Chains A and B, each alone.
Chain A
Amino acid sequence: MSSSTPFALLTNAAGISWAEVPAWPATDFVRATAAELDRGARLCAWFGVPEDDGASLVAVIAFDADNTLAVARSTPFSGSFPSLTLANPQAHLFEREVWEQHGLTPVGHPWLKPVRRTDGNAPAVGDFFRVNGREIHEVAVGPVHAGVIEPGHFRFQCAGEEVLHLEIALGYQHRGVEEALAGGPHRATINQIETAAGDTSIAHATAHATVMEALAGSETPLRAQWLRALALELERLANHTGDIGALANDVAFLPTSAACGKIRGDFLNLTALMCGNRFGRGLVRPGGCRHDLEPSRVAQLQERLKLAMCEIEQAVAWFWDAASVRARFENVGTVFPAQAREIGLVGLAARACGLVRDVRYDHPAGWHRFAQAPVAVWPGGDIFARARVRTLEIQRSGEFVREQLAAPADGEICCELAAPGASMLAVALVEGWRGEVCHVALTDAGGRFRRYKIIDPSFHNWIGMTLALRGTAISDFPICNKSFNLSYCGFDL
């Protein structure tokens, strides 16, 4: 499928010279991108790069079936361009972002408003879509929520209990991450990447390290790749366990909720055993890893993993055995497969709609070229499906870590990395626990970051949650929210 595209082809974790990226005038570029998306490609990234007086647009698309990525760009321009969103809704947030960051107007965009720009001391989220009618009422929630979680604002349009429409306003967490990365790498770059989304530290750090290695044209030692793959699955185990616990808590099923709270900590402590930090900070570095796993540490990991897996299996069995739990999740918060494809869902939310999308399988890089866990898919698209996919992934990740610990890769854990190549573009995709983490780096003539673009899976998936809420009761919102568990700061950057 990818063989006939006018885009430049590359694989995951590879770099390409900027001059080799085909460039077309904006209108042709949008048309070409739309044509590829219509043929089944998926939009991984779509962003602007400041150039001369205007900006050029860059598209990174994925042909999942061919294990191939493709890139193209527009020639620099200013003013407006025909919107891609009308034909391909997966572009809608990307276009809002391009408009906000570079002042390029997508003509025909259905709902053009700021994504995360602040106006004084609060986000300029603009006006909300309103449903009119005597029986309609509006519910506003946030930015400060009732639990210990990140801030965002939800605006519901309801008829009685039923949610007709939900609009999510983010931007409260905007810390200026991408702006800070420009001109880098600086000495704080890796730390800012690790905290882009705190619970996805390993995935983001791995994506960054991979991009740096692609820019340097070298490969990191196998043992480092092995360590990264282990850490990535431990991150997935901890977060999925936490989410199962949170879902159980929200349907008042306390045995699983109580047990998962503790087991999640056990998984976090396994990551801490590797590197000292429960979230994996300071483990992954461009060129390799900072800490090794000695045989005694491997043995300790194996033992503690076995124990934690036994416990989570038990806790999950209670959960799925309870008819009250299953009934609460079935046919609630459904995203239909056709919708999921249209809006470009990624990660476990997509797999819970029956879409077989997993970067570890579709675009293997690093250790995943040699070892893979089976992709966990469930049809249905409802909360039940998302919880099922989590359960399957817990089993498979646990099995993966167990297998890998039994057969460690030998060698160094770190290599000296050459300076990033000049005027290049490099792309890295990593399957974080939420879904696809995409990093795109562009270097200038001096090998510094001209543009560094991060796309957290949440950027693709928040719109999925608004669709899932339609037609459900507003009291279903908490479980629906937990079943996606999207990142606010990963979106806001």
Chain B
Amino acid sequence: MFVLDTLVNRLKRGCETMPYPKGPAPALPDRHGGALKVEAARCGEGCDDCIPVCPTEAITRLPSKNVALDLGRCIFCAACVEACPQDAITQTGDHRMAVRRREDLVLGETGNEEVRLADALDKKLRKLFGRSLRLRQVSAGGCNACEADVNVLGTIGWDLSRFGIQFVASPRHADGLLITGPVTKGMELALKKTWDAVPEPKIVIAVGACAIAGGPFVGNPQILNGAASVVPVDLYIPGCPPHPLTILDGLLRLLGRLEEKLDVATNAKR
């Protein structure tokens, strides 16, 4: 092959970076399901069908007798959706699920049927990080799927760096950590040291069911059930693993770089 062929091919391919967030978000695969919605008010009297099928015990019964689904523990297997005879738990097809507070992932009660999406950082931090955010990624027991989908954001299709977000090699060059994995005992010290090495002010983003609550390994004696046991978390991005679009949405939401108008438009489309 000659240089010319390479160039012609390159020109034919054109710009491969997606228009999102200025344009529409890429469609999720139809079987993906997206975020879950829980309307506990629809629960049947004495019905417990969803609780035993959940592999991570993400569904519990509240004192108010309603069921509650913790989207942080959820690995999106949809077993509960299949098991529920009342359609109280449904898939929304929405890729957006990142939240700032852990309790915002607990769904069920009236008014809390869906995730309460993340607010942006406060004005001062946004001024610092809004146009340039450098992250050090720490895999603390991650199975490599979350890592792979974080890596995907760096490819030409997503091109994360156009938002000024970049992964750096040293925590000393970073504004924060992006953590995947349930935090194994073997990684506890390494994670702590990496966190200590990031200069203030700093943020932490927990990506995936493992980093939020332990994922499929929740309760294993060898793990610490998520990043929050070692460092304070500023953003939770659920999924097993989260779709790259979900991760990107979370990051942009945190930096206040999503225009709500467009958000409403994408939402209405669904």
Could you tell me which A residues sit within 8 Å of B by CB distance? Answer: 116, 118, 120-123, 143-144, 146-151, 171-177, 179-180, 187-188, 190-192, 194-199, 201, 242, 255, 258, 261-262, 264-265, 269, 272-279, 281-282, 291, 314, 317-318, 321, 487-489, 492
Contacts and interface: CB of A to CB of B under 8 A. Distances in A.
Contacts of B66: none
Contacts of A171: 186
Nearest to B77: A282
Contacts of A187: 52-55
Contacts of B154: 148, 261
Contact of A318 (B1, B137, B181, B192): B1
Contact of A262 (B1, B149, B155): B155
Contact of A261 (B75, B145, B155): B155
Going nearest first, the 4 A-B pairs with the smallest beta carbon separation are A276-B31, A198-B145, A198-B143, A261-B155
Contacts of A264: 152, 155
A187 B223 CA distance: 19
Contacts of A317: 1
B194 A144 contact: yes
A241 to B, nearest CB: 12
Given A265-B152, A275-B31, A198 B194 contact: no
B52 A265 contact: no
B148 A195 contact: no
Given A176-B223, A262-B155, A121 B188 contact: yes
17 contacts: A121-B188, A144-B138, A149-B147, A151-B187, A172-B141, A172-B184, A173-B181, A173-B187, A175-B217, A175-B222, A197-B143, A262-B155, A273-B29, A276-B31, A281-B75, A317-B1, A489-B142
Nearest to B150: A148
B64 interface: no
Contact of B139 (A149, A195, A272, A314): A149
A265 B186 contact: no
B29 A272 contact: yes
B189 A269 contact: no
A196 B143 contact: yes
Interface residues of B, number: 67
Quick one: which of B78, B185, B190 has the most chain A CB within 10 A? B185
Contacts of B189: 120-122
Quick one: which of A194, A195, A258, A262 has the most chain B CB within 10 A? A195
Given A123-B186, A187-B52, 12 more contacts: A121-B189, A172-B190, A173-B142, A174-B184, A188-B216, A191-B216, A195-B216, A201-B145, A261-B156, A272-B31, A279-B241, A314-B9
A350 to B, nearest CB: 22
Quick one: which of A147, A191, A317 has the most chain B CB within 10 A? A191
B220 A258 contact: no
B16 interface: yes
Nearest to A238: B148
B44 interface: no
A188 B243 contact: no
B144 interface: yes
Contacts of A143: 187, 190
Contacts of B116: none
Quick one: which of B54, B210, B220 has the most chain A CB within 10 A? B220
B231 interface: no
Contacts of A321: 1
B32 A272 contact: yes
B159 to A, nearest CB: 10
B141 A198 contact: no
Nearest to B148: A199
B18 to A, nearest CB: 11
B157 A173 contact: no
A198 B142 contact: yes
Contacts of A120: 185, 189
B56 to A, nearest CB: 6
Nearest to A276: B31
A282 B78 contact: yes
A179 B222 CA distance: 10
Interface string B132-175: 00001111111111111111101111000000000101110000
Given A198-B142, A291-B31, A175 B184 contact: yes
Given A149-B147, A188-B216, A198-B146, A265 B31 contact: no
A116 B186 CA distance: 8
Contacts of B139: 148-151, 173
Nearest to B197: A144
Given A173-B181, A278-B243, A489 B141 contact: yes
Contacts of A261: 152, 154-157
Nearest to A123: B186
Contacts of A148: 137, 139, 147, 150-151, 154, 167
Contact of B144 (A190, A197, A276, A318): A197
B256 interface: no
A176 B241 contact: no
B16 to A, nearest CB: 6
Contacts of A258: 155-156
Contacts of B136: 144
Contacts of B220: 175-176, 179-180
Interface string B198-241: 00000000000010000111001111000000000000000011
Given A144-B194, A269-B29, A151 B140 contact: yes
A190 B77 CA distance: 11
A173 B187 CA distance: 7
Contact of A188 (B55, B144, B156, B184): B55
Interface string B13-36: 000100000000000011111000
A262 B156 contact: yes
A192 B137 CA distance: 23
Contacts of B72: none
A438 to B, nearest CB: 18
A371 B155 CA distance: 35
A192 B216 contact: yes
B222 A279 contact: no
Contact of A150 (B52, B142, B223): B142
A188 B78 CA distance: 13
Interface string B74-105: 01111000000000000000000000000000
Contact of B149 (A121, A179, A278, A488): A278
